[in-house]
Amino acid sequence: MMSVWRRQGRDVAADRGIRSSAALVALCALCLSACAAGPPRSAQAPLVAPTVDVAGDIENCVAAFSEEPRESGSAIDPRAIELVNWNVRKGRHAGWAAEFDRYADAADIATLQEAPLHHPAWGAVGLMHGFAFAPGYVTRRSPTGVMTLSEAVPLRQCNLKSREPLLRSPKATLVTEYPLLGSAETLLVVNIHAVNFAPGLVAFRRQLAVAVRVIEQHDGPVIFAGDFNTWRPARRRHVDRQLIRLNLAPVGFTADRRKRFLGQALDHVYVRGLHVSAATSYSTQVSDHGPMRVRLTM
């Protein structure tokens, strides 16, 4: 708040006039400085998605993905696709952004879970053209959810919502589609944070089923990645059955340091129509899940 200037021998009208002039000069100087320097790095964060229709329920999503996609000015090179998948635990740890920056530097696609929507870290990946976000849990600082960053602007996007049966907290599945350089086919990317706190499989199966319906509409290559919360063997078996029948294969990791609970890995990547040339997962101190890197090619 600007301070009130009080000086002897000056009347109130003159005092107000000087303050108004000073404020105007300061405002002009601020504008000129901003125009000359450009927006700060954090302001370049991709917090607003490019213009793309977002379907918010399964019926509209299936209908949207059965139509011809719109044109896009960017594409992903199918000869070398580097994927990063990571549950970043709402960005709680101060060091997660710097660690993610190292992985994102070479990534063509980053599928994140529990990603905070409002965070200066996104300025570090400002060179990535595509941004998509499906909201889940809301903290005091920011909405969090599943986020997909990419080297190409998505052609289409679906935000599919689910809820934990017991806690009623939201979980999200994000579906995006991308053009491929030199190919008539498109790449479908599904990013999921699966229902966790449920004694049975009803809610878990329901969430996976809506994603499967979208994949059934797609003829080209597919990446299905995320935190599947497969802490029970029955959950993993169900995921495998549903995705393998759609010709999606699970990615195996040479260095497998994925988060485990009751001996079961929680994070997975499944692919179709893509060859896995390398896959590694890392241990970390900045999240309760380790980041995963997968190199793919058509």
Domain boundaries, the chain: 1-38, 45-297
Specify whether the CB–CB gap between 37 and 139 falls below 8 A: no
What's residue 22's pLDDT?
A: 43
Does the pTM exceed 0.85?
no
Whole-angstrom distance, CA of residue 119 vs CA of residue 112: 14
- Coil, helix or strand at residue 12: helix
What's residue 123's pLDDT?
A: 67
What's residue 247's pLDDT?
A: 98
Whole-angstrom distance, CA of residue 211 vs CA of residue 62: 10
Number of Cβ atoms within 10 Å of the Cβ of 165: 15
Q: What are phi and psi of 38, to 5 degrees?
A: 80, 170
In whole angstroms, how far apart are CA 253 and each of 40, 113, 295? 38, 20, 11
Give, as one character, the DSSP assignment of residue 5.
P
Give, as one character, the DSSP assignment of residue 252.
P
What's residue 66's pLDDT?
A: 82
CATH 2.130.10.10 fits 45-297, yes or no: no
Query: Which of 142, 141, 137, 130 lies closest to 76 in space, CA to CA?
Result: 130
Token couple for 109 = 């696609």
What's residue 164's pLDDT?
A: 82
Radius of gyration of the chain (CA): 23
Whole-angstrom distance, CA of residue 262 vs CA of residue 255: 19
Whole-angstrom distance, CA of residue 105 vs CA of residue 16: 52
Pairing of strands 156-163, 54-55: parallel
pLDDT along the chain (298 residues), means of 10: 35 41 39 33 43 79 84 88 91 80 87 88 66 83 88 93 84 95 96 90 95 95 97 96 97 90 94 97 87 95
Number of Cβ atoms within 10 Å of the Cβ of 34: 12
Specify whether the CB–CB gap between 179 and 76 falls below 8 A: yes
Query: Which of 87, 77, 133, 86 lies closest to 108 in space, CA to CA?
Result: 77
